[in-house]
Structure 1
Amino acid sequence: MKRTSILLAAFFAIVAFVSFSDVSAKGDFAVGSTLENFKLSDTNGKEQSFNDLKGKNGAIIIFLSVQCPVVKGYDERIAKLAEDYKAKGVNVIGINSNVTESPERVRTHAAEKYKFPVLIDKGNILADKFGANVTPEIYYFNAKNVLMYEGAIDNDRSGKTISNNYLRDALESSLSGKAIAKTSANAFGCSIKRVE
C-alpha cells in the first residue's frame, strides 16, 4: 500500500512537471516583456520588419482571421482604432496565423477592411511565441517594444453595449505617461487554426 502511494505520488509529480513545462514552452509573452524585432511576409509576399512598421509611440499587434464572425463584428472598430492611434504615433499591425486561410483570401479581406499591413504567420510561430489563442487578440507595445497590454479590445462582441474599452484605456494611459489600470483582459473569439 505504501509503495503504491509513493508510485502514485511520483506519477502525479511527473505529470505536473510535464504539464507546466508544456505551458512555458508555448510562449505566453507576459506584460512587461520586451519584443525583439521580427520579420514576416505581408499578403503580397514581401518581407516586413516589426521595427519598420511600428509607429514612433509603439504598435498594436492584432491576431486576425478572415472567417471568424467575432473578427467580422470588430472590423469597423479595428479600422477606427487604427485610424485614431496612427495619428498618435501607434501603428496597427495585423497578423494572420490561421493555416486554413490562404494568403489570397487574407489579402482580399485586408484590402477591403483595413488600412494597415496584415502579415502572414506561417506555421503560427509568432502566435506560439505570444501564446495567442483566439482572433481578435491584442498585444500593445510601447515605443521601447515593451508589452503594455494584452487581451481583448473591449468587453462587447456586438459593439452595442461596450462598458469597458480595455485597449483604448490602456493606450490613453500609456501615451499620457500614466500607469495602466488593467494590463490584460481575457480575449474572446475564434480559435487560431494552427499547424499540427
Structure 2
Amino acid sequence: MEVQPLDDGESAPDFELPGVTGGEYATVNYKTYTLEDFDASALVVVFTCNHCPTAQAYQDRIKAIQADYDDADVVAINSNNTIEEYAGGNEYYPTDSFEHMSARADVADFNFPYLRDESQEVAKSYGAQCTPHAFVFDEDRELVYQGAIDDDREGEDVSEQYVRDAIDAVLSGEEYPIETISPMGCSTKWRGVE
C-alpha cells in the first residue's frame, strides 16, 4: 500500500490507542492514550514494531531520546498486521501482536508508551512507511520533521541525529532546516484485505 507521509507544518493526526510501557502496564491492564495525553513542548511519534531488526536496533536509541529530554514526549506505535487472514498475500507478523508488544516493553524496560494501531488507520493518517519512521512535532503539534531517526541503522557510527536535532530546534524556538531523510527499516506490513 502506498501512503503519503505528512508534510512539514501539517498537524498531528489524533489517535486513541491502547498501549503499554515497561513495567507500568501489562497487556491485561493497558492504558488508552490519545494525542492530548502528551503535553510536552516537543512530541516524537515513532512507528516501530517488534520483529524488524532495524526497529530492534533503534529501541535503545529511542529510549535514550526520551530519557535525555525533559520537555519532549516520545510515543511508539506498532501498526503491523499480525493476522494471516487479513494479509491477502502480504507479509504478516504474529510477533507484533499486542501481547508480544507488552512483553517487549517489559523486557526492554520502555520508558515511553508503546501503542497498538490494530486498524492501521493511524499509520495511514501519518503516512508511516516503515519501522522505524519518526515524526517530530512542535508545541502546536505541527510537523517539524519526519523520516529517519539518525544516519546509522546499526547505531555504531552515528554522525547525524535528525530527531534529536529537530527536538533541539523545537525547544529553542528555531526553524529546523533539514527536510525529510528517508526512514530506514522494514516496510509497514499492511493488511491486504478488509
TM-score of the two chains, using structure 1 as the length reference:
0.81
Q: Decide whether the 8 Å contact of 1:123 with 1:194 is kept in 2.
A: no
Q: Does 1:97 align with 2:93?
A: no
Q: Equivalent residue for 2:107?
A: 112
SS across alignment from 2:45: strand
Q: Decide whether the 8 Å contact of 2:43 with 2:73 is kept in 1.
A: yes
CA offset digits 1:55-80 (Å, max 9, x no partner): 32031001111011001111211110
**CA shift for structure 1 position 183:** 3.4
Letter in 2 for 1:117: P
Aligned pair partner of 1:41 in 18, 29, 32 = 18
CA offset digits 1:22-63 (Å, max 9, x no partner): 96xx443111101243211224453211111x1320310011
Q: What stretches of structure 1 of length at least 5 have no aligned partner? A: 1-21
Q: Which residues of 2 match residues 79-158 of structure 1 at below 5 A?
A: 79-85=63-69, 87=70, 89-100=71-82, 101-113=96-108, 114-158=110-154
Report which structure shows greater RCO (CA 8 Å, sep ≥6): 2
**CA shift for structure 1 position 165:** 0.8
Deviating above 6 A after TM superposition, structure 1's stretches of 4 or more consecutive aligned residues are none
Percent identity over the alignment is 31
Letter in 2 for 1:98: N
SS across alignment from 1:122: coil
SS across alignment from 1:48: strand
CA distance in 2, matches of 1:190, 1:36: 23
SS across alignment from 2:190: coil
**CA shift for structure 1 position 112:** 2.1
CA distance in 1, matches of 2:157, 2:113: 29
State the number of aligned residues: 170
Calculate the aligned-residue CA RMSD, in Å.
Answer: 1.6
Q: Which residues of 2 match residues 14-29 of structure 1 at below 5 A?
A: 26-29=3-6
CA distance in 1, matches of 2:144, 2:166: 8
Q: Equivalent residue for 1:55?
A: 39
Q: Does 1:67 align with 2:62?
A: no
**CA shift for structure 1 position 108:** 0.7
**CA shift for structure 1 position 177:** 1.2
SS across alignment from 1:155: coil
Larger Rg: 1
Letter in 2 for 1:105: H
CA offset digits 1:105-144 (Å, max 9, x no partner): 0111112221111111012111111111100110111111
